[in-house]
Structure 1
């Protein structure tokens, strides 16, 4: 009995929807959803003419891309997933407990960009499949926004004057290529010094970006990374780097200094040894005649 009713509903739906669309355009409302997020599409009708078992509901996504897709159905007051399109199974839900109160809201989770489109909700009285009790149309647009940028700083402690540091800024999940800026956090001015390298990675329709700046640290700085999009700017946390007063000795200068110091040390040691030899007291030699007298005695 229930299967026969369902098939009758599906056979009549194209004609029902066609008649409905001739006067429903003014009822369209709009919703925004975030990629991989969730959204609830409204469809509420409290004035039901009879028990819920006499009510059927039909949710449909229009022209996606070549045909209409069944998103969710209620047949004779019971949520029915048999005719739901595969791409919505497990993602489109109607709350069974809310049906008795006329709540036929559609919940969609794990949104994809292909979920964007016009959704139609039709509430019908089952004894007469041509009797539309309520209808509404919702336009859903799924967008993808960049994640807040995060900056990686190796050894964020105090640095020696003149040391170089690489700072890396990452953000992901956008649809259009953004502009990446490095700014001083204290006044918002753009960092002009340093070398900047950017990497762009496409994950299907999604864009992930990374920017690396190389700075020669000569003073204390507060720095941030900004992702500039048409929907607004995203700014990372402020990162502070402090500089010690003593300068960092480049490795080649240190080696040369050690070599010169060694040579000077060798000459100094040689000079000291030679000076000690020159100051040695003179030897006393006994005259030969005294030596002979000592021998005879």
Structure 2
């Protein structure tokens, strides 16, 4: 509404009154001529969009209601009030500036965008809106409402309206909640256009499944090392026991050889060599059986430990 109000009410009838609303380039916006609307004088772009408050005229209120505003209505208007005293004289005149604004609206989804990043990673955030007026201000803020300087702000003007695109780049080391808002100072609006939630992945903040997987991996490595160590110790023990013993292992049992008989001393060399090879084969078989038994026992222990960790 364009305000035009006299300090005192009228002291004469409305049929002696003329009211003109026009632009500085003398385009007629609205007229009131001696009790009648002078629509024939109004410029085409204002016809059907303007009206006076007839019940307020006698009180000295000549304000104009202009509807269906567009950016082309951003102008300075003149309110001219005249009284008929044998001829029309100007009794009141005002200049009124009309500022028309257009709101900026989100052009992206309103739900917060969630990102999961590595600590120290550079992250690019974007924010945009269009069809607003006048030129906006872009604000990036974190959860504590601290302002963050935008890396870049790009403006485009089309048909009198602005489109804005802003970029913010950050090296993220902690979890963040960010928001991008666009301020329209004319309309006194500060609209949140986009929100972001950033989660940082690091060793101290593993998710529960990842932490369990991490623990299980460590346990598996540790137990595997134990298996290798036990196998090595078992082999060393077997070598130690083998030197003083005249026996051999058979299926995990230590077997003693009988003292040589008189007949054995007369055994042909080929037969003795064959019996010697058989003895060595039995010794190796006994060793392998012992090691296999140790490994199976340790693997069984490992399986039970893993089941316990998973249960936890």
Q: Give the one of 30, 43, 46 matched to 2:9.
A: 46
TM-score by length of 1: 0.51
* 1:106 and 2:64 are equivalent in the alignment: yes
Structure ranking higher on relative contact order (CA contacts 8 Å, 6+ apart): 1
TM-score between the two structures when normalised by the length of structure 2: 0.49
Alignment match of 2:126 (pick from 168, 177, 180): 168
Match of 2:55 in 1: 97
Which structure 2 residues correspond to residues 56-71 of structure 1 after superposition, within 5 A?
Answer: 56-62=18-24, 64=25, 68-71=26-29
Higher helix share: 2
**Structure 1 residues 111 and 43: alpha-carbon distance in aligned structure 2, compared to 1, 3 A threshold:** farther
- Give the C-alpha shift of residue 142 in structure 1: 2.0
Q: 159, 167, 175: which one pairs with 1:204?
A: 159
Structure 1 position 119 matched with structure 2 position 78: yes
Partner residue, 2:41: 83
- Counterpart in 2 of 1:17? none
* Mapped contact 1:224–1:235 kept (Cα < 8 A): no
Shift, 1:54, TM fit: 3.2
| Counterpart-to-counterpart distance in 1, 2:112 and 2:71 | 39
Distance 2:73 2:5 in 1: 21
- Matched with 2:97 is 140
Q: Is structure 2 residue 144 aligned with structure 1 residue 186? A: yes
State the partner residue of 2:86: 128
Task: Classify the secondary structure of the residue corresponding to 1:43.
Answer: coil
- Partners of 2:128 and 2:193 within 8 A in 1: no
SS of alignment partner, residue 88 of structure 2: coil
Determine the C-alpha separation between the residues in 2 that align with 1:237 and 1:147. Answer: 9
Consecutive unaligned residues of structure 2, counting only runs of 5 or more, are: 208-250, 252-312
CA contact (8 A) 2:133 2:184 kept: no
**Cα distance, 1:204 vs. partner?**
1.9
Deviation at 1:140, TM superposition (A): 0.7
Q: Rg larger in 1 or in 2?
A: 2
Contact (CA 8 Å) 1:79, 1:94: kept in 2 or not?
no
CA distance in 2, matches of 1:75, 1:229: 39
User: Partner of 2:86: helix, strand, or coil?
Assistant: coil
Does the CA-based 8 Å contact 1:153-1:168 persist in structure 2? no
How far is 1:220 from its partner? Answer: 1.8
Superposition map of 1:227-266 within 5 A: 227=182, 234=190, 236=192, 239=195, 241=197, 243=199, 245-246=205-206
Q: 1:89 to 1:202 in 2, by over 3 A?
A: same
Unaligned runs of 5+ in 1: 1-38, 248-280, 282-297
Aligned-CA RMSD value = 4.1
Identify if the C-alpha distance between structure 1 residues 102 and 77 changes in structure 2 by more than 3 Å, giving closer, same or farther: farther
Q: Report the number of matched residues.
A: 198
> Structure 1, residues 167-195: CA drift from partner, whole Å, max 9, x if none?
4323442344x564533232515268xxx
